[in-house]
Amino acid sequence: MHHHLQYYGYFRDEEKTAESSSLVSRERRSKSSYSLLEQETLQESGGLDLNSLQDNRKKLICSLMLEAALFKSKQLLFNHLEGPGVPRLREPRGLFAVPTSRGPLQAPRWPVECEVIKEQIQHIEWVPSEPEPFYQPTGNEPAPLIVGEEKGTVVYHIKPAAKGSYFTCSRVGGVRGPITSSAISLEGPEDTTLLFESRFESGNLQKAVRVGPYEYELTLRMDLYTNKHTQWFYFQVRNTRKGITYRFSIVNLMKPKSLYSMGMKPLLYSQRDAQTHGVGWRREGGNIRYYQCSSEEGQAMYCLTWTACFPHDHDTCYFAHFYPYTFSDLQRYLLAVVSDPVRSQYCKLRVLCSSLAGNTVYLLTITSPSQNPTATAAKKAVVLSARVHPGETNGSWVMRGFLDFILSDSPDAQLLRELFIFKVVPMLNPDGVIVGNYRCSLAGRDLNRNYQTILKESFPCIWHTRSMIQRVLEEREVLLYCDFHGHSRKNNVFMYGCNNKSTPAQWLHERIFPLMLSKNAPDKFSFHSCKFKVQKSKEGTGRIVMWRMGIPNSYTMESTFSGSTLGRKSDSHFTSEDLKSLGYHICDTLLDFCDPDRTKFLQCLSELQELLQHQIHRKLKDLGRGQDSDGAWSDISLSDIETSTSGSNSSQSDGLPAHLLSMAEKFHQKKKKRLRTRKERNELRQKYTSSQGLTCQDKTPVAGERRLGSPTCRTHQPVSAAEDSSGKQGRTPEAGLISDLQRREPNACQEKLPGSSTLAHSASTVGASPCRSVWWGPKQPTVTLLLSRNLFPRPQVPGQSVPVGPHKLKRSQSQHLLPPRRVTWSLLDLQPPCMEPERRKRPSWPQ
């Protein structure tokens, strides 16, 4: 034991260790107990031998240290600065998982069915010196036919998530154990087959088929736990050859329109160029064409094909839909911010929540510290967010530009920090970003359609973001809410907002901020592309939910994947620096919007009114109507003038998350009624015959017809057979009915209704069965009615006069109707039956 404790650092120097040990200190033990131990030791030693006293004291300390080591809690720490023997609790792991310079970054957590390579992918930032123009189509671009696996060779393939599956759990590194080899092996150095890989952050290539010496068909992985949403792509290519034209065709895109039909080019990254020349992502590609190629299960598939030449032999290159920005990129940026002693003073990094897979959703609070609580309470708030759709990396680059400026030492940035409190959520959907989804989270749903959700565990990022904004609204006014997105079918940058119809004093005020932004960034932002229509299909989006919560200036800012058609940047692609500059323009526009000098504000408002008049005049002209005689314009709403927002329709991704769909289907599934056998029907008939004592006699039976007294008749009470073979005859139908009515004694507390009547049989019936749904009312002459053999409704209030006549009922699929019978009845005096108690309403299911 002595050697064991020496291994862990005890008793290497017995004298010093025994006196300076923090685990067992003299201060922690009471003086009385310590003196008692000394007395016992002195008694054993005789009180004279000092050497034996020291040996016994060492043994006692050793035993006490051993006892402390055995019973020590792992959650207790002893801080020497606070004094000897003062314990404190250890901080729980992962509770405050913010990037710090003292430790490594938080490793991304993947679903357990995902294979992940160990290589960390990181790209440099580079801006081309010259604008990158759009591709100019010639009209002769080929549209290759899709060959598929039958006539090609699969060179790369990963297993997709099982169809109909849902997210269960996650871990760092994804699947347990070694990952499989997804690419084929090269036969030798002369083999020119390209090697593909996408099992890294934001990668989403599922399969590559070689259909020619230098031609490949690519299949993208759909969003996990869904069967749709293929637009974003990001993958690696190795074993390249210089000077050879390769053709790539992505064969399972789902959008009928794309910016690739309007001159957009894919992005190419060469690892050797980045290492030797400092050149990063650039637009490359020729013979670009976007067309419909096939149709699977009623879903039309579209193909994107392009050609490219690689700059080096045996190089590692990457293709992407837009400039990637991963979860690790965000963490590296936040680590640089919190490590800066200046920026960390007015930028506080906190954890908003954990995602479904356990990844951190960060929240930044940016404002200048103020010593005056009154000044702090008077500050308005600005809420910004990005990457609710993981494939729209445009939002992260705009957010990056905003953070670069607001955290800088610029005088405008300092003024903004003194005026406002900025609440920033830079990445709302880290799970989707990590796995390479385009639109959905690991719940298999579009988060931007679930801002009204109450499912905290299924949509934690959205639920906590909305709750955070609610808390801010309780404390102060939120001047602006903006969610950064990307758009795949329109050029330029624009906004979607909401019409403020309920407050006439605020009419058109929601359009002033976008108009000011278009004036500050005229070569990027297009105000004419902005829409302010509130559609029912977009009720769950962030901008509409925040608008209904009380934020009038609530926007979604859409940045194109392609480029600009305005000003000096016309017909050229956006770079990452162009998108970052939009973050600065947002800050500049915010100062103009809140300027105490209202000149700019009123000028924009006047311009908007004039623009609206032109739009109404154009609308009336299209409708063939003119201006009213008094000079007023017709009452055309703003929604009629505007077209709907052309964003992606993800209504198929609304509703419950994937892991609750199967439970909901089982919960709402109606159980089929089990059909009784003939034996069971006969037993049930005999049971009701003996209990009711009623018979239904059919004197002139119709050939092939069924008895109305059978237990399957839902209208009439079961009665016995008409006449058996022994000649025994039951009571007539009218006798059975009267006997049944006489057994019903009226309620004592119920008053007798005036004009009460009794139903009696006055003419011969042809096999008719009595019905217990009796019409109660005043005396009437003899009437003839058609008695249907199916259920017909009973009067809701007995005692009122109800007309009697033919009743037509819908044919039921489970019951065959027979022709109605003509029955003649007369009304006699009888006591009305007791009113049935009101049926208790069935509770409704929660929405």
Handedness of CA 518, 524, 528, 531 (dihedral sign): negative
Residue 789: Cβ-neighbour burial (10 angstroms; 0-12, 13-18, 19+): buried
DSSP annotation of 142 = -
Q: Pairing between strand 554-560 and 478-487?
A: parallel
Cβ neighbours of residue 686 closer than 8 Å, sequence gap 6 or more: none
Q: Pairing between strand 267-270 and 478-487?
A: unpaired
- Tokens 């003839």 identify what position? 784
- From the candidates 558, 577, 683, 751, give the one annotated as an active-site residue: 558
- Name which of 240, 219, 208 is nearest 308 in CA terms: 240
How far is the C-alpha of 324 from the C-alpha of 75, rounded, in Å?
41
Half-sphere exposure of 588 (CA within 13 A, CB side): 13
How far is the C-alpha of 728 from the C-alpha of 709, rounded, in Å?
17
For the stretch 598-604, contacts whose Cβ atoms lie closer than 8 Å and that sit 24 or more positions apart, written own/partner, are 600/516, 601/512, 604/512, 604/515, 604/516, 604/519
Fill in the amino acid letter for 76: L
How far is the C-alpha of 347 from the C-alpha of 403, rounded, in Å?
10
CA dihedral 369, 373, 374, 379 (to 10 degrees): 40
202 near 234, Cβ under 8 Å?
A: yes
Measured between alpha carbons, how far is residue 391 from residues 15, 48, 276, 365, 440 in Å?
A: 65, 84, 30, 25, 9
Measured between alpha carbons, how far is residue 479 from residues 59, 453, 586 in Å?
A: 71, 24, 13
For the stretch 18-22, contacts whose Cβ atoms lie closer than 8 Å and that sit 24 or more positions apart, written own/partner, are 18/58, 18/61, 21/65, 22/78, 22/80, 22/84, 22/85
How far is the C-alpha of 256 from the C-alpha of 301, rounded, in Å?
8
Cβ neighbours of residue 454 closer than 8 Å, sequence gap 6 or more: 463
- Name which of 783, 775, 794 is nearest 823 in CA terms: 783
CA dihedral 305, 306, 310, 316 (to 10 degrees): -30
Q: Identify how many contiguous H helices and E strands the chain contains and give both numbers.
A: 20, 27
φ/ψ of residue 235, rounded to 5: -155, 165
- Name which of 431, 392, 435, 397 is nearest 220 in CA terms: 435
| Total number of residues shown for the chain | 847
Q: Known catalytic residue: 558? A: yes
- Name which of 74, 77, 58 is nearest 66 in CA terms: 58
- Name which of 366, 447, 454, 355 is nearest 403 in CA terms: 366
- Tokens 């109305």 identify what position? 708
Handedness of CA 697, 698, 703, 705 (dihedral sign): negative
Measured between alpha carbons, how far is residue 561 from residues 262, 490, 495 in Å?
A: 11, 8, 15
Per DSSP (E only), the strands in 765-816 are 783-787
Q: How far is CA 329 from the centre of its chain?
A: 23
Fill in the amino acid letter for 578: D
Task: Enumerate the active-site residues.
Answer: 558
